[in-house]
């Protein structure tokens, strides 16, 4: 199976400089254009057989655009949502630091944000949804996953069987694309965070 992991286009939260996470902002006009460029690029170079997407507006709309271009089924998967940042969702960075300061020494990975989830729970959710995709969609040759930067980073950590506590990170720009071949024997990364469609 080949996995094509795609981050959504620019969202309104990017312009407002607020904590996004579960705050459900739509794509901007630029984000729509980025999604269309990505969709044409993906359809031309590695057309998916099926798309699995987060239900949050920014990812869902990006997936709808890819679906229209690739002419394939799109399935919504709740577990592909971004990190549940609880009380921080939608707050400006300044307001968040005032109302909910980071504990001295940081927050332990098992401690959830108020009203949200912990980093450990987030990683375990990524493990769960990855195994679900690899099992439930194993009859498909190429599966596109349209999600969020944090989730995609955790999916890649899970694919590479990295420990929960790791310094490794896999940042993804607007409509950035990661391509990974997955077999029972190995996982081969073809490329990470490709954005040449935006040039």
- Is position 82 annotated as part of the catalytic site? yes
Q: What is d(CA 125, CA 119) in angstroms, rounded to the nearest whole number? A: 10
Residue 96 backbone dihedrals phi, psi, to 5 degrees: -60, -45
**127 is known as an active-site residue:** no
Provide DSSP, 71-113.
T-EEEE-GGGSPP--GGGTT-BHHHHHHHSPPPTT---TTSPP
Closest CA to 1 of 131, 125, 174: 131
Catalytic residue among 20, 82, 117, 119: 82
Task: Tell me whether residue 123 is annotated as binding.
Answer: no
Residue numbering of the annotated binding site for substrate: 58
Residue numbering of the annotated binding site: 58
Q: Known catalytic residues?
A: 8, 82
């Amino acid at each position: 199976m080949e996995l094509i992991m795609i981050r959504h286009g620019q969202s309104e939260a990017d312009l407002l400089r607020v904590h996004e996470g579960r705050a459900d902002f739509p794509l901007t006009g630029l984000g729509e254009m980025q999604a269309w460029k990505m969709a044409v690029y993906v359809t031309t170079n590695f057309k998916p057989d099926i798309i699995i997407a987060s239900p949050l507006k920014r990812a869902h709309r990006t997936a709808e655009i890819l679906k229209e271009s690739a002419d394939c089924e799109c399935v919504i998967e709740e577990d592909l949502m971004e990190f549940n940042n609880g009380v921080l969702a939608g707050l400006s960075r300044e307001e968040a630091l005032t109302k909910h300061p980071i504990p001295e020494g940081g927050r332990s990975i098992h401690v959830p944000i108020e009203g949200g989830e912990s980093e450990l729970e987030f990683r375990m959710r990524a493990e769960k949804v990855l195994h679900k995709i690899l099992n439930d969609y194993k009859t498909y040759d190429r599966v596109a996953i349209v999600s969020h930067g944090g989730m995609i980073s955790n999916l890649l950590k899970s694919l590479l069987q990295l420990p929960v506590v790791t310094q490794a990170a896999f940042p993804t720009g607007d409509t950035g694309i990661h391509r990974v071949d997955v077999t029972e024997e190995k996982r081969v990364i073809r490329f990470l965070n490709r954005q040449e469609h935006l040039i």
